[in-house]
Structure 1
Amino acid sequence: MIAKVLGPLRASLDDVSIVPTAPMARRVLALLVLDQGRVVRIGTIERELWGANPPRSAATSVQNQVMRIRRAMDGSAPTGTTRPTVARDLLATEPTGYRLDAPDGQFDIEHYRLLVGQAEQAEGVGQLTRASAVLKSALALWRDTPLSDLATGSVLQAHVLRLEEEKRSGLLHRISLDLRMRRHSEIIGELRELTGLDPYDELLHEYLMFALYFSGRRNDALSSYQGFRTALAEGVGLEPSPRLRELQQAILMADDSLGDAFLDPAPLDAGSAAAR
């Protein structure tokens, strides 16, 4: 089974899509994929589909959505197959809910987390170039916002937020690795794009200032700080953190000894938050 959640929902068996057309069934399938190997409780499904006020017919409706998924799974089996139904193999009914059991499946989120772990191992033995390259491969798996084609409820939205944090964590760590390898000028364009997309992300602005300064563009680094400070004050009424002000002062004094002091890696753990 192939399943992808790092963008529009995709799932297939034997190159045949098993994503139902019914919107509710698609959301149930997404929940099952995201919790592959674990029971998704009926109450969790109801909360995703109807929020805090499910109708009296909710339990029956959930059964119907699961049945739609099973029909799609069985429909992927080769004509005339004698093996047990695909749905029976993959989608189990438990006393409290349903479990998707595809241990040999190819899921993009699992692949992403595997690559992040490999990058961590490479960094642990000093292979920064390999760690950066593996993280780039991991980040290339993201096709769009997770589940971008679904109208998600509260449960799936929580999953989406966590996945976006995982991506941010991997991205920030890859950037910090590139800076530690003195690839300053190579990533300025990327950092400018990222800070344009997220103008209040202080860590991205910190990395941009660092890259500009060590690319011999001290004035641009200071201008970047002033631009961020103005945007932050006008947008949310805040001042930059002491850490960023310290970096500005170090740049003003042309203090090259700041070095790696401003390059503490962002968390590499796939499930951890990236904010410091």
Structure 2
Amino acid sequence: MEIEVLGGLEVRRNGRSIVPSGSEAQQVLALLAARADQVVPMTSLICEIWQDTPPHDARRRVEALVCQLRKRLAAALQLGGEPAAAASSILVSVPGGVLLDSRCSTVDFRAFQRSVGAGLRLLEAGRVAEAARRLRDALDLWRGPVFAGVRQGPYLEAEARPLKEARLGALDQWAEAELRLGRQAELVPELTLLTGRHRTDEGLHGKLMTALHRCGRSDEALAVYNWFRAALAREHGTEPSDRLGRIRHGILLEVHDTKPTSLLLRDDFLLQVA
């Protein structure tokens, strides 16, 4: 089975999607997929759909949604010559909850986590080109926003949050690896798009400032700092960290020729402010 949540929800068996059209059934499947191999309590599924105002027959309705998903899975199994009855051992009802068994499955967010971990270890070991490739492989698994198109209640929002944060962290480390490889010119367009989408992510703005400065576009790099500072004040009422301030200060030093040794053209400066 293929389980994908890094973009629109997709769960396939034998090439056939089992994702239903109904929003409530999609929420149930998405939460089961996000917690694959864990029992999801019935109370969590009810709260995910109806929050604090569940109907009096909420449990029966969730059980009906699970039954609907199991029928779709059974049809997909039969398509591949597998017994339809196996659906009950993949989408398992247990006392108090439901479990999606992901054995013999590919799960995109787990593949993402493995690739990011491998990339970070390679970066720490100084194998920068390999690290950049592994981190790029991880990022390429994302097809869009996590659970895109699925209505998200409190439990799906809680599952989505760390995945979003992990993606931003991977983007930041991938950009650092690319900068160490001297690929600042190629980075600028992508970082410009990313900082537009993530207006208050400091790591990405710092990498864009560095890339622009290394391309000889120091005025634009300083403008990025000013834009970021304004966005941070407007949206969060805070100031940039000392880390970003040191990047800005290093650019100003070079622009005004007050320091003979280039700071931002050296990789060790990146390491000092990371």
Bin the TM-score by the shorter chain.
Answer: 0.7 to 0.9
Match in the other structure for 1:11: 11
Would the aligned equivalents of 1:176 and 1:263 in 2 still touch at CA under 8 Å?
Answer: no
- For 2:61 and 2:89, the matched residues in 1 are separated by 22
Match in the other structure for 1:157: 157
- Which has a greater percent of helix? 2
Q: Which moved more, 1:109-118 or 1:140-149?
A: 109-118
Aligned-residue offset at 1:152: 1.4
Aligned-residue offset at 1:226: 3.2
Query: Could you list the runs of 4 or more consecutive aligned residues of structure 1 that deviate by over 6 angstroms after TM superposition?
Result: none
Would the aligned equivalents of 2:74 and 2:84 in 1 still touch at CA under 8 Å?
Answer: no
- For 1:62 and 1:73, the matched residues in 2 are separated by 17
Match in the other structure for 2:28: 28
Would the aligned equivalents of 1:177 and 1:265 in 2 still touch at CA under 8 Å?
Answer: no
Match in the other structure for 1:246: 246
- For 1:222 and 1:116, the matched residues in 2 are separated by 30
Aligned-residue offset at 1:147: 1.3
Amino acid across the alignment from 1:177: A
Match in the other structure for 2:211: 211
Aligned-residue offset at 1:87: 1.2
Verify: 1:178 aligned to 2:140, yes or no.
no
Verify: 1:188 aligned to 2:194, yes or no.
no
Would the aligned equivalents of 2:179 and 2:211 in 1 still touch at CA under 8 Å?
Answer: yes
Match in the other structure for 1:270: none
- For 1:89 and 1:228, the matched residues in 2 are separated by 51
Aligned-residue offset at 1:208: 1.4
Amino acid across the alignment from 2:126: G
Aligned-residue offset at 1:264: 6.5
Match in the other structure for 1:105: 105
State the TM-score, normalizing by the size of structure 1.
0.87
Verify: 1:67 aligned to 2:80, yes or no.
no
- For 1:208 and 1:135, the matched residues in 2 are separated by 18
| Ranges in structure 1 where 5+ consecutive residues have no aligned partner | 267-276
- For 1:192 and 1:82, the matched residues in 2 are separated by 49
Structure 2 residue matching 1:77: 3-state secondary structure: helix
Using a 3 Å threshold, how does the CA distance of structure 1 residues 237 and 125 change in structure 2: closer, same or farther?
closer
Using a 3 Å threshold, how does the CA distance of structure 1 residues 20 and 175 change in structure 2: closer, same or farther?
same
Aligned CA-pair RMSD: 2.3
- For 1:183 and 1:80, the matched residues in 2 are separated by 46
Using a 3 Å threshold, how does the CA distance of structure 1 residues 35 and 227 change in structure 2: closer, same or farther?
closer
Structure 1 residue matching 2:12: 3-state secondary structure: strand
- For 1:78 and 1:233, the matched residues in 2 are separated by 57
Using a 3 Å threshold, how does the CA distance of structure 1 residues 19 and 265 change in structure 2: closer, same or farther?
farther
For residues 218-274 of structure 1, the C-alpha deviation after alignment (integer angstroms, 9 at most, x for no partner) is 3332233234334444565543333322322222112524643444698xxxxxxxx
**Paired residues for 1:66-85 under 5 Å:** 66-78=66-78, 83=83, 85=85
Would the aligned equivalents of 1:4 and 1:107 in 2 still touch at CA under 8 Å?
Answer: yes
Amino acid across the alignment from 1:3: I
For residues 40-84 of structure 1, the C-alpha deviation after alignment (integer angstroms, 9 at most, x for no partner) is 011110110110232221111111111011111111123695746
Using a 3 Å threshold, how does the CA distance of structure 1 residues 235 and 150 change in structure 2: closer, same or farther?
closer
Aligned-residue offset at 1:94: 1.6
| Ranges in structure 2 where 5+ consecutive residues have no aligned partner | none
State the identity %.
33
For residues 167-206 of structure 1, the C-alpha deviation after alignment (integer angstroms, 9 at most, x for no partner) is 1111111011112223222211212222222333222221
Amino acid across the alignment from 1:8: G
- For 1:142 and 1:29, the matched residues in 2 are separated by 19
- For 1:211 and 1:90, the matched residues in 2 are separated by 48
Aligned-residue offset at 1:108: 1.3
Structure 2 residue matching 1:98: 3-state secondary structure: strand
Amino acid across the alignment from 1:140: D
Amino acid across the alignment from 1:19: V
Number of matched residues? 266
Structure 2 residue matching 1:141: 3-state secondary structure: coil
- For 1:140 and 1:49, the matched residues in 2 are separated by 30
Aligned-residue offset at 1:154: 1.1
- For 1:13 and 1:161, the matched residues in 2 are separated by 27
State the TM-score, normalizing by the size of structure 2.
0.87
Using a 3 Å threshold, how does the CA distance of structure 1 residues 180 and 69 change in structure 2: closer, same or farther?
same
Using a 3 Å threshold, how does the CA distance of structure 1 residues 20 and 187 change in structure 2: closer, same or farther?
same
Using a 3 Å threshold, how does the CA distance of structure 1 residues 79 and 131 change in structure 2: closer, same or farther?
closer
